[in-house]
Structures are given as structure tokens and as C-alpha cells.
Structure 1
Amino acid sequence: MTQIEYYFTTISPFTYLAGNRLEQIAEKHGATITYKPLDIMGLFARTGGTAPGERHPNRQAYRLQDIRRTAARLDLPVNLKPMFFPANPAPSSYAIIAAQKAGGGDLGGLVHAILRACWAEEKDVADDGVIRAALEQNGFDPGLADSGLLMGAEAYGANLEEAVARGVFGSPTYVVGDELFWGQDRLEDLDLHLAGKI
């Protein structure tokens, strides 16, 4: 069975804009997904990236246009300047890591619920109540927000190291074997790759 390794941060607008298309593609091709949330600022620092707020104003302005247009094309609600951005992505990442280990719920739904909370619902994804609600809405024990902290912190750090070693430099990145697909706008390429067409 084909494995998709999914490297992302829970505060990325472009990861939010992927919606549930990754999960649909994986189901279509009988592939499995391993969700690997990571520290995006740490990834930028290690791979030559720049935090959005530190980029040239031209780049910042274009980024907002691109987010707005993409959200409209995909019919996804979006707030271009969310109240709680950038939030600390670690607590929500730890919860995703714990939920993946526990199993039994909708992991893709959980990831998208957290991203939607930031980019469409004006919620703080570092807030325990927001995380617990997302866990419960997607079939997980909300207590995972508290019980998986140590394991989550260790896996979160390991995901960053692994991402750097694999050639990842941004979020979202989908990895199949040695093939990397960076950005939600490369999901079509991922689909074609899994179909053996590219």
C-alpha cells in the first residue's frame, strides 16, 4: 500500500486551503496518510525560509491576494488577517500526534477543523478548549489534548528533523517515496503520480 507522508503546520493558510482533497486522493488510490505536524518557523530557519511577517511588503501583499483568490476558487471561507495568527502551533500539533496514535476518529477531519478554526472561525488554535472541541467533533477523546504532551513534543521535534532530512522546506508538503509535492496547488500532481501518470 502506498504511503503518503504529510508534513504541515496547523497555522498555514495554504494547508487550510487543501481542505480534504488529500484524504480524497488517498482514498481514491488506496493510499495511507501519516500526518506529521512540525514547527514551521524551525523549518524556515533550517531551510532558508522567511517568516511571513518578515518578508518584503510585495511578497506579503501577493500572499494575501493568492490566499483570497484560491479560497474563492475552492469555495472555502477565509479571513485574510485572523485575530489569532500566528498562534503557537505546538499544542494542536501534539493533539494531532496523540489522536493519530490513539486511532478511532477522523484524523483528516481533525486537522482541517484546527486549520479552519484559525483561518475561518477566528479561534485560537493554541487554546485548550478549541483543541478539545476539534478532537471531540472528529470522534476522539478530548482528553488527548492533555495526555499526549510528552510524546507529542518528542514526535513534533522528530518530525522537524525528518522533514529537513527529506528535503521538505514548506507547508503543506506531501512525500511519496523520493517524490515531494509542495503546496496545496500540487495535489493534482500527487494524484497523477499515484495514478502512475507522472
Structure 2
Amino acid sequence: MAHIDYYFSTLSPFAYLAGSGLEEIAARHGAGVTYKPLDIMALFARTGGTSPAERHPSRNAYRAQELPRQAKKRGLPLTLKPAHWPTNPAPSSYAIIAAQNAGGGDVGALVQSVLRACWAEEHDIAEDAVVRDCLQQAGFDPALADTGLLSGAETYAANLEEAVNAGVFGAPFYVVDSGQSFWGQDRLEDLDLHLAGKL
């Protein structure tokens, strides 16, 4: 059975635009998924990327066109300039890590709920109440938002190191145990074809 390490940031609009695509592909091919939230700004610094605030105006102008196009293409609501972005991604990331360790709910749904809260619902995903609500929506104990903070922080940092070592430089990034990597929500079709043995 194939396995996918999914590296992403809870601040990434492109991770939001992936929707449930990864989960649908994994289910179709019987693939396992490990969710690895990470500090995207630290990843950029380590791998030659730049934050949106530091990018050339032309790049940001293109991003402002591309995000709404991709959202429309995927039928997802999108707020191009969310009220609470950027914000601290650590609380939501720690909660995802704790939920994955605890089990009992749907981690993919949790990730999508957090991203939707930021990019479509104008919520601050650094707030405990928002994180608890996302946990509950995905079938997890909301108290996970308050537990495992130390281990969450350790895993969050470890995810960054693993990402750099695996050749990850952006989000969303999918690394298959076959050795193939796929960057961006617009490469989900290629991931699907690869798992089907066609690519």
C-alpha cells in the first residue's frame, strides 16, 4: 500500500484550494496519509523562498488573480484578503498533530476545516475557540486544543526538518514512498495518475 507524507501550512491558500482532493485520491488507491503541518515561513527561509510580503509586486499581482481563478475552478468560496491572515499557525498545527496522534476523528476533515476557517469564514485560526470548533466538527475531542502542546511543538519542528530533508520547498507538498514528489494542489491529478501506475 502506498503512503503519502503531506506537508502543508494552515496558512496556505493553496492547501485550502486542495479541498478534499488528497483524501479522495488516497481512498481510491488505498494509500495511507501522514499529515505534517509545518512553519511555511521557516521553510521558505531554509529553501530559498520568500514570504508574500517580500515578493516582487508582479508575483503578488499574479497571485491575486490566480487564487480566485483556482477557487472558482474548484467551487470553493475564497476571501482573497482574510481579516486574520497572516496569523499564528502554531495552535491549529499543534491541534492537528494531537488529533492525528489521538485518532477517533477525521484528520483530513480537520485540516480542511481549519483552512476553510481562515480562507472562507474570516476566523482567526490562532484562537482556541476556533481550533476547538474545528476539532469538534471533524469528530475529535475539542480538549485536544489544550493537550500535547509540548509534543505538538516538537513534532511541528521535526516536520520542518523532515520537509527540508525530503526536498520540500512549498505547500501543499505530497511525498510518496515511491520517491515521487508533487508540489501544489494543481498536481493532485498527477499524484492520482502516479498512484494508478500511469505516471
**Structure 2-normalised TM-score?**
0.99
* Alignment size in residue pairs: 198
What SS does structure 2 have at the residue aligned with 1:124? coil
What SS does structure 2 have at the residue aligned with 1:143? helix
Structure-1 residue corresponding to 2:181? 180
RMSD value, Cα: 0.5
For 2:191, the aligned partner's letter is: L
Superposition deviation, residue 186 in structure 1: 0.2
Equivalents in 2 of 1:142, 1:64: separation in Å?
34
Structure-2 residue corresponding to 1:83? 83
For 1:172, the aligned partner's letter is: P
Superposition deviation, residue 10 in structure 1: 0.3
What SS does structure 2 have at the residue aligned with 1:196? coil
| Deviations 1:4-62 (CA, angstroms, capped at 9, x unpaired) | 00000001000000000100000000001000000000000000000011101110010
Structure-2 residue corresponding to 1:161? 161
Q: Name structure 2 gaps, 5 residues minimum.
A: none
Q: Name structure 1 gaps, 5 residues minimum.
A: none
What SS does structure 1 have at the residue aligned with 2:84? coil
Structure-2 residue corresponding to 1:194? 195
**Structure 1-normalised TM-score?**
0.99
Equivalents in 1 of 2:8, 2:65: separation in Å?
21
Equivalents in 2 of 1:98, 1:147: separation in Å?
7
Superposition deviation, residue 64 in structure 1: 1.3
Equivalents in 2 of 1:11, 1:105: separation in Å?
22
For 2:112, the aligned partner's letter is: H
Structure-2 residue corresponding to 1:134? 134
Runs of 4+ in structure 1 deviating by more than 3 angstroms, as ranges, are none
For 2:98, the aligned partner's letter is: A
What SS does structure 2 have at the residue aligned with 1:133? helix
Map 1:22-171 → 2, pairs under 5 A: 22-171=22-171
For 2:14, the aligned partner's letter is: F
Equivalents in 1 of 2:146, 2:67: separation in Å?
33
For 2:86, the aligned partner's letter is: P
